Structure 1
Amino acid sequence: MTAYLNDPEIWQESWDRQQEAFMPDREHRFAAMLDAVAAVTEGKPPRLLDLAGGTGTISLRTLARFPGAQVTVLDQDPVLLTIAESTLRDRATIVDADLSDPSWRSKLPQDGFDAVLTATALHWLPAERVSTLYAEIREVLRPGGIFANADHMPEESLPTLSDKLRDHARVKREARYAAGASTSWPDWWARVAADGQLAAKAEERARIYPPKDDHSQEWLPPAVWHVDALRMAGFSEAGVIWRGGTDAAVAGLR
């Protein structure tokens, strides 16, 4: 990583606002996942892996709720990792690793995590990789530890309503962009590229994620697919712990 950013908290706030335009109930899913962490650790400070953690959004909320938590942020995006490292400093371990490569676990400082959490990230991996990844995640958890994934997971029994919910959310999101209430995804990245401290990281990111790929395949199976995949990966229990419209959080216990 390079030297710390001058104003990382501003970039964190900017990222949050941009993400909340997509997911107005974003904080609700984080709270639900951290409630589950509190339950399996009985309120003790957890050892937590923030998987595909980006700017460290989940880590920051974990540290606020559980002072003394040991958190590790793992991601590959050089821009987001720079923001994470600059904000978290010595409060977290930062790991640069590619989840499409099965060797990602070798870069972790430890295993035996109490919890592995991820949000709105794994949908860019193909189905067969997600299934395998779930089994790999299970191996870095302690017995009784929890994994939770919050993402776009429509309810398969409500296809018409799901379409209407997505359309309704899109109209509201576009209205926010038009009014200047939030920055769109492409506009946010354009601001990164124009920033004196982040421009070089943006160039590095473009080499990792070519623009034509845009770091996303948008593979969005229903929640039941994830629950079945978690069970097949060896988790003793798996199910939905939160739902908001066409998004959900699934969890598995080792």
Structure 2
Amino acid sequence: MKKPGEVFEDSRVYDPGIEAIVPRYDELHDAILNAPPQGRSEDIHVLELGAGTGELTAKLLTRFPESSVLAVDHSERMLAEAERKLETFGDRVQIEQGTFPDDHPSGESKFDLVISSLAVHHLTSDEKQTLFSNIHEALVPGGWFFNGDVVRFDADHLETLSDAMIKNWVRSKGWEEEEFMNRWQASDDYDDPDTLTDQLVWLREAGFDSVTSIWQYYNFAVYGGRKSE
């Protein structure tokens, strides 16, 4: 049985496939990685929730040479691909199967940075609020949380506009729409995006300050906040 986030039956085609359906995928990742205040020479302990195949993990470990990452995902298939991709980073990365907010973050470790990409939108509104509170607890004072994800528009016509934009993006990547949709295995039943405004409010309620949206393209956004020092 597929799990949320297992967009394709074969995890080996996830990376090229997700780039075909998420507009400006690399730009979304860059927004997440450009946002932390840490320098390249600083030791930073990072928790990544919903690491998938390890694409963002690899980019972070490369950009921050002194970083270490606990990469968490619930999909065995995705983590198998991540292990292959991240092998070169040795003991700087720890890969763990688990869910959030149930398993992670736990109270055992403190992190300088928590990141997530295209995963939190699978949670219900209540689960998102619980997760934000748990992340705040797991951060060291001055630590940051950044999430790049799908958000929902309140206005129906903007949702329609976003759907049309994604279909145009798919075609621009050289995929025949019918062919692509035949390969596409995700179910809307797994998706529960909330508005960006609501999520910024929930971050404030969880105790974060400096809450902000950093980047947005239609219904994809990067946002986050800081735990006060």
* Kept after mapping to 2: 8 A contact 1:147/1:252: yes
Deviations 1:59-90 (A, max 9, x none): 10001211121111001100001111122122
Quickly say closer, same or farther: Cα 1:24–1:45, change in 2 above 3 A: farther
Residue in structure 1 matched with residue 20 of structure 2 by the alignment:
21
Unaligned runs of 5+ in 1: 1-10, 190-212
Structure 2 unmatched runs, 5+: 1-10
Q: Write the deviation string for residues 201-238 of structure 1: whole angstroms up to 9, x where unpaired.
A: xxxxxxxxxxxx95953112211111011111111231
Tell me the distance in 2 between the aligned counterparts of 1:76 and 1:146.
23
Per the alignment, in what secondary structure is the counterpart of residue 111 of structure 1?
coil
Q: Cα 1:169–1:56, aligned 2, differ >3 Å: closer, same or farther?
A: same
Change (3 A) 1:84 1:186: farther
Higher helix share: 1
Please name the residue that 2:44 is paired with: 46
> Which residues in structure 2 correspond to 1:32-181 (within 5 Å)?
32-37=31-36, 39=37, 41-43=38-40, 44-89=42-87, 90=90, 91-101=92-102, 103-106=103-106, 111-156=109-154, 159-173=156-170, 176-178=174-176
Task: Give yes or no for contact 2:212–2:224 (8 Å, CA) kept in 1.
Answer: yes
Could you state the TM-score of these two structures normalised by the residue count of structure 1? Answer: 0.74
Q: 1:113 deviation in Å?
A: 1.2
Tell me how far 1:247 sits from its aligned partner.
1.0
Distance change (3 Å), C-alpha of 1:185 and 1:81: farther
* Corresponding letter in the other structure for 2:117: A
Q: CA deviation at 1:111?
A: 2.2
User: TM-score, normalising length from structure 2?
Assistant: 0.81
Contact 1:52 1:118 in 2 (8 A): yes
Cα drift, residue 167 of structure 1: 1.1
d(CA) in 2 for partners of 1:166 and 1:45?
Answer: 41
Aligned length in residues: 212
* Alignment partners' CA distance in 2, 1:168 and 1:120: 18
Q: CA RMSD in A?
A: 2.7
Residues in 2 aligned to 1:28 and 1:229: alpha-carbon distance in whole angstroms: 25
Alpha-carbon separation, structure 1, partners of 2:159 and 2:125: 21
Query: Residue 250 of structure 1: which of 206, 223, 228 is its match?
Result: 223
State yes or no: 1:237 paired with 2:213. Answer: no
Alignment-derived partner of residue 200 in structure 2? 227
Whole-angstrom CA distance in 2 between matches of 1:121 and 1:31: 17
Alpha-carbon distance in structure 1 between the residues aligned to 2:183 and 2:160: 26
- Rate the CA distance shift 1:239–1:81 in 2: closer, same or farther, 3 A: same
Moved over 4 A (4+): 183-186, 213-216
